[in-house]
Amino acid sequence: MPEPSAAPRTGAGMLRQTIRRQGRRLLLAYPLIIAWQLGEALTPVVIGLVVDHGIAGDDLGPFLLWLGVLAALMAGFSLAYRFGGRLGFRSVQEESHTLREEIGGHVLDPRGADTDQLPGEVLSLATADANMTGIVVRQFGFALGSLTAVVVIGVWLLWTDWVIGVLVMLGMPLTVALTQLLAPAVARRTTSQQATIARAAGVASDLMAGLRPLKGVHGEDVAAGRYARASLDAQRASITMARSWGVLSGVSSGLSTLFLGIVAAVAGIRALDDAITLGQFIAVVGVAQYLAEPIVALGELTAQAAASLASGARISRFLHTPPLVPEGPVELNTPADRLTVEELDLTVKGGDLVTIVSDDPAFDAALIDTLHGTRPGGGRVLLGEHELSALSIASRRTSMLVVDHGADLFEGTVLDAMDPDRALSSEQLDVVLDASAAHDVIAAHEDGLDHHLRASGGTLSGGQRQRLVLARSLAADRPVLVLHDPTSAVDAVTEQRIAAGLRSVRAGRATLVLSSSPALLDASDHVVVVRAGRVADRGTHRDLLARDDTYREAVIR
């Protein structure tokens, strides 16, 4: 049984996990990033020393010495940025990839994921939210570098001139604190924007997946209107978020410029009073210019971290959605070859072809859900001697295949769709194609089995998709096979061929079909008639035609 998700249950926990998982690489990346920030911060200081000891002192030796120090410093922080940035970027990408794998693994868990999120919303989790959560690695590194550089520069300023030092040490936190007044609003709007974009993506993917049936009922305008509203919500949220970020950035830049202008003015006055040297004055002005970037970065950090926190929380909630199919502990040594549905007093054993005819599509859907295991309490179902709910997912899969009416085809070749593991010989494949009448589908394309299918078989007709899905189902060769309306989109002649082929290929196997197809009913050993959710009659197709007027009216086309 797959283990429960080990993902943290909070957004903050997801961010901590991100830092922890990338810890080994970050232990090298963060010192390099700090060294880069320190190098940039100290460059004006060294330039000031070049001026004081080399130029103002008119001494070639100190001038060359400090010039060499300056060159080494600039080369050092350039290399630190190159390699620290590379390690940090790799950490972001690897963590985002890991999160995408975890999201994909949760979706593909054999038990499924019981979530009401649309496919597009899940896709948004695996792309935008995974990237935003991974970026916390970069945010944290730049925050460490900026804070370290600011503290070191503050200490240097206090040592150089206590007036300027106190001004910077008090003014910096005040400037950052003032920008934080806007950060919560920016964070809320960023979170709202991420959620509305995810909803719009979900509506878009839902629309594309259902485009064909929508056209059949002329529902394109309604669906397009629904998407337009979702897209408009996303547009408005994005504009509001961008406006908030613009205000925050403008306020941060404006306050930092005002503050650093005051620092430069005070430094000029102190230089005129001979409290600091010319080189120190140049260094203070250069440091003031450098500090503008860390001030802005630290001012925006809260909003950026809140966006990562929200993305991490969304991923965490999804990874902790409960399984769609409860799983039991029983592992079968050999696959079960008999299906019992106690609610219908029905047992389908090896060699039986049984068809259920219902007057209510909702009954068929509910029975399929019950056989899938996604409808607990839907009635007692046995596979062999064991209740379905008591069996492990692996045992269910090796014993029974349940094929929905709307089963999907995945992108790939026709051969990929029918035999993805390449487990069939050419003779076996030929038998399956004959039984499903899928030879016609392959013959319609020049490249035959190598013909490339779009996702969901978008380039095929409904009947062609049905035949390929049926071929895939027969190729799986499970002891128990359940089919839901496998021929509803094919013509009567093809339906006859499929009925005969199904009976031939499934000889010795248990097959249950939910359908009102006369061809399939006639090929069945046994027919169960369900009305208003209860068994109304049972027998062979021809016996039921002879004695049951309601049945005859329902199945004669």
Q: What is the pLDDT of residues 281-324, one digit of tens each?
A: 888 888 877 776 776 666 667 777 777 888 888 899 899 988 88
Lowest mean pLDDT among 274-278, 315-319, 329-333, 540-544: 274-278
- Cβ–Cβ under 8 Å, residues 339 and 347: yes
Question: Residue 355: pLDDT band by 50, 70, 90 thresholds?
Answer: very high
Mean residue pLDDT of the chain comes to: 82
- Cβ–Cβ under 8 Å, residues 522 and 499: yes
Q: What angle do CA 62, 65, 69 make, to 5 degrees?
A: 135
Instruction: Please enumerate in sequence order all residues whose Cβ is within 8 A of that of 505, keeping only pairs 6 or more positions apart, or say none.
Output: 431, 432, 435, 474
Alpha helices in 52-135 (DSSP H): 60-107, 119-124, 130-134
Question: Residue 340: pLDDT band by 50, 70, 90 thresholds?
Answer: very high
Type and span of the H or E element at 37: helix 23-50
Give the pLDDT confidence of 89-105 residue by residue, as tens digits.
999 999 999 999 999 88
Answer yes or no: is pLDDT of 520 > 80: yes
Give the pLDDT confidence of 233-272 residue by residue, as tens digits.
777 767 776 677 677 677 777 777 787 788 888 888 888 8
In the three-class reduction of DSSP (H, G, I as helix; E, B as strand; rest coil), residue 536 is classed as strand
Answer yes or no: is pLDDT of 214 > 70: no
Instruction: Please enumerate in sequence order all residues whose Cβ is within 8 A of that of 215, keeping only pairs 6 or more positions apart, or say none.
Output: none
pLDDT-above-70 percentage for the chain: 85
Answer yes or no: is pLDDT of 119 > 90: no
| pLDDT computed for residue 532 by the predictor | 87
For residue 342 the two structure tokens come to 């106690």
Question: Residue 217: pLDDT band by 50, 70, 90 thresholds?
Answer: low
Answer yes or no: is pLDDT of 523 > 50: yes
- Cβ–Cβ under 8 Å, residues 490 and 463: yes
- The more confidently predicted of residues 395 and 201 is 395
Give the pLDDT confidence of 153-211 residue by residue, as tens digits.
888 888 888 888 888 778 777 776 777 666 666 666 666 666 676 666 666 666 655 55
Residue pointed to by tokens 């966006």: 307
Alpha helices in 373-491 (DSSP H): 393-399, 414-418, 426-435, 439-443, 462-476
- Cβ–Cβ under 8 Å, residues 30 and 74: no
Distance CA 318, CA 89 (A): 26
Distance CA 25, CA 141 (A): 12
Tell me the angle at which helices 23-50 and 136-160 cross, rounded to the nearest 10 degrees.
Answer: 30
Tell me how many helices (H) and strands (E) the chain has.
Answer: 21, 12
In the three-class reduction of DSSP (H, G, I as helix; E, B as strand; rest coil), residue 358 is classed as strand
In the three-class reduction of DSSP (H, G, I as helix; E, B as strand; rest coil), residue 547 is classed as helix
For residue 230 the two structure tokens come to 């979702």
Question: Residue 274: pLDDT band by 50, 70, 90 thresholds?
Answer: confident
Q: Give the highest mean pLDDT range of 123-137, 336-350, 430-444.
A: 336-350
| pLDDT computed for residue 215 by the predictor | 54
Answer yes or no: is pLDDT of 528 > 90: yes
Answer yes or no: is pLDDT of 2 > 50: no
Q: Give the highest mean pLDDT range of 133-147, 340-354, 401-415.
A: 340-354
**All domains of the chain in start order, with CATH:** 11-319 (1.20.1560.10), 339-555 (3.40.50.300)
274: left (phi over 0), alpha (psi -120 to 50) or beta: left
- Residue 169 has a CB neighbour count (10 Å cut-off) of 17
DSSP lists the bridge partners of residue 535 as 530
| pLDDT computed for residue 399 by the predictor | 94
